[in-house]
Structure 1
Amino acid sequence: MTILTNRSDAVFIRQLFTEIEEKMSNTAATILEHRTVLKLDGEDLVPFLQAVVTQDISLVTPEKSVWSALLTPQGKFLHEFFVTAPPKGGLLLDCEKDRAPDLLRRLKIYKMRSKATLEPTDDQYTVLALQGSDLSETLGLSKNKGASKEILGGCVYIDPRHQAMGARAIIPTENLSKFIEKYDLIKSTLETYDQARVTLGVPDGSRDLEIEKSILLENGFNELGAIDWDKGCYIGQELTARTKYRALIKKRLVPVKLTGPIPETGTDITIAGKNVGILRSVYGNQGLATLKIDALGSDQLLCDAANVTPQLPEWIEIDA
């Protein structure tokens, strides 16, 4: 049975995005300085990645991008990234900037004798998040998640996680000003982007997850489209599948509203002194918290002196 409590946040989310859009005379762009791009190429590239990451890489074309992850052999989170197909061939991975060397190192370990090249791009590309009304029409894309097209030597695509996340772009830095001018973009802030993202319940790599500890199914990666269940084996696939089919999920990462003194991330969440979760991220009075499923309907949640109200987004699937 799917839990249907605390769904009133759906109205709040719609209001939030409406308010953001009303402030925009044009499409807003947030330069994601905490993200960078890796460039992958070679004749064995697709079969090599297919055996390593969680999403079906054969789906990636210049018209479609995906979101995927790399796990430990035990099925724990290591990296998340977007995979796009640039106009000149190969693949581009939009990943966490500070952790890109680790992702590159791990991929090279699994590459073994595959004919594939994996390299950083340094500052050759800029990663952007785009928000605005009629976004797909503005960009000339369908509304389908992951819908992509080439632009100025890079690509722009509808966010494959959730349509309310807008679109993303990977643009050669030398063409960034042309891209901004082409779509008459106005500058937005990471704070605004994060508030919308967190209210929707969408995690952003190690900013919200624990490296080598978090499990994808506890953090929305299934509903948000990072896992292909029919592609066959990949690193960590056995535990991921067992977690799903044996219904082993006992906690979830969910958006929460904090009322009172804002606590620090990493603070325990309790009911009557009993630990039922932990605060992962805080942006204003909104946050992401890992909570036990049987605590999601409680109105007695505390994080230090702050009251915690879970606000489950419509996309999340939680079975009691």
Structure 2
Amino acid sequence: MTPLAFTLLPDRALLAVGGEEAHHFLQNLISCDLESVDRDGAGFGALLTPQGKILFDFLIARDGERYLIDTPAETSADLLKRLTFYRLRAKVTLQALADWGVGVGALPGDTAEGLLSVTDPRLAALGQRHYGPLETLSALAAETDGPAAYEAHRIALGVPQGLSDFVWSDVFPHDADMDQLNGVSFRKGCYVGQEVVSRMQHRSTARKRMIRVSADAPLPARGTPVLAGDRSIGEMGSSSRTEGLALVRLDKARAALDAGETITVEGVSVRLALPDWATFGWPEGAESE
């Protein structure tokens, strides 16, 4: 696979969490294990509702004595406000890094000085993410279509992303494949929403999953129903021309496929496939509602 050219992601923003209790504060709050973040340099996680649904999902990187949270720019202020709500009397500093940005792809030449570079913790094939001053990152980003190329790359790999593929507060981490992409720890202690997520894991009750969708025509917008006949079995997430993602009830999809039914999205016939990295499969006993 040809490495992606370096590009700045203008739709991402950074928050910094520092202070002597930063590790403890985050470890008791978010879904990933901060011990792994400290060891590997980066992680993928979420802040959940008490009912176990995704309130925010993000990447997190260790930067010296602080942590950087890589999150959608449009909701970064909301995440900062929520973290502030949970801080209480903890010895933690919370800050929006307005003059820092997020880049992805192969750096041009030997230009890493002053940047924090990590392998994407969700899937190594997504490549490197780079954090640093916006001025530095902007000077390195030469391709104007870079963000679109990166989105196409992410979608082709079948990796879902909050706001792009699903609405926050509507889905559980398992629905968004976070358990498959290193986004949930089942070994660390309690965090917000942990009991529900652990129950889904141990009882294997996840029925909806983000999977790959492809067609011979451009795919429609996020939220468009995925149909088996006239029955909805899911809805579209993001897409790049003829490749996309969809949140689908696996049992209903399997039943439709076994029955030879055509799966469509807004009248376009589509093919469904599990991501190559997925350890879950099609259910054995599929429903046929």
Q: TM-score, normalised by structure 1?
A: 0.80
Q: Are the aligned partners of 2:41 and 2:61 in contact in 1 as well (CA < 8 Å)?
A: yes
CA separation of 1:261 and 1:313: change in aligned 2, threshold 3 A = closer
CA separation of 1:249 and 1:61: change in aligned 2, threshold 3 A = closer
Do residues 127 (structure 1) and 130 (structure 2) align?
no
Q: How far off its partner does 1:295 sit? A: 4.1
Alpha-carbon separation, structure 2, partners of 1:265 and 1:175 = 33
- Structure 2: gaps (5+ residues): 284-289
Do residues 190 (structure 1) and 147 (structure 2) align?
yes
**Residues 83-94 of structure 1 aligned to structure 2 (within 5 Å):** 83-87=60-64, 89-94=65-70
Q: How far off its partner does 1:41 sit? A: 0.8
Report the equivalent of 1:170.
Answer: 131
1:45 aligned partner, one-letter code: A
Alpha-carbon separation, structure 1, partners of 2:202 and 2:79 = 29
Report the equivalent of 2:196.
Answer: 239
Q: What secondary structure sits across from 1:228 in the alignment?
A: coil
Q: Are the aligned partners of 2:8 and 2:138 in contact in 1 as well (CA < 8 Å)?
A: no
Q: How far off its partner does 1:317 sit? A: 2.2
- Structure 1: gaps (5+ residues): 1-17, 141-150
Report the equivalent of 2:236.
Answer: 279
Q: Are the aligned partners of 1:86 and 1:153 in contact in 2 as well (CA < 8 Å)?
A: no
Q: Are the aligned partners of 1:104 and 1:119 in contact in 2 as well (CA < 8 Å)?
A: yes
Fraction of identical pairs, as percent:
29
Q: How far off its partner does 1:80 sit? A: 1.4
CA separation of 1:139 and 1:159: change in aligned 2, threshold 3 A = farther
2:267 aligned partner, one-letter code: A
CA separation of 1:165 and 1:156: change in aligned 2, threshold 3 A = same
CA separation of 1:160 and 1:199: change in aligned 2, threshold 3 A = same
CA separation of 1:245 and 1:61: change in aligned 2, threshold 3 A = closer
Report the equivalent of 1:77.
Answer: 54
Alpha-carbon separation, structure 2, partners of 1:60 and 1:263 = 37
Q: How far off its partner does 1:186 sit? A: 5.4
Pick 1 or 2: higher relative contact order, CA cutoff 8 A, min separation 6. 1
Q: Are the aligned partners of 1:152 and 1:175 in contact in 2 as well (CA < 8 Å)?
A: no
Deviations 1:41-94 (A, max 9, x none): 11111111111001111333386111111111111111111211224x211111
Report the equivalent of 1:255.
Answer: 212
2:171 aligned partner, one-letter code: S
Q: Are the aligned partners of 1:265 and 1:281 in contact in 2 as well (CA < 8 Å)?
A: yes
Q: How far off its partner does 1:310 sit? A: 0.9
Q: How far off its partner does 1:116 sit? A: 0.3
**Residues 104-115 of structure 1 aligned to structure 2 (within 5 Å):** 104-115=80-91
CA separation of 1:305 and 1:95: change in aligned 2, threshold 3 A = same
**Residues 205-220 of structure 1 aligned to structure 2 (within 5 Å):** 205-220=162-177
Report the equivalent of 2:251.
Answer: 294
Report the equivalent of 1:306.
Answer: 268
Deviations 1:192-250 (A, max 9, x none): 11111111111122111211111111111011101111111001101101111111111
How many residue pairs match? The answer is: 276
CA separation of 1:198 and 1:139: change in aligned 2, threshold 3 A = farther
Q: TM-score, normalised by structure 2?
A: 0.88
Root-mean-square deviation (CA), in Å?
2.3
Q: Are the aligned partners of 2:28 and 2:191 in contact in 1 as well (CA < 8 Å)?
A: yes
Alpha-carbon separation, structure 2, partners of 1:281 and 1:305 = 17
Deviations 1:269-317 (A, max 9, x none): 1112111111122221111111111244426101121011112222112
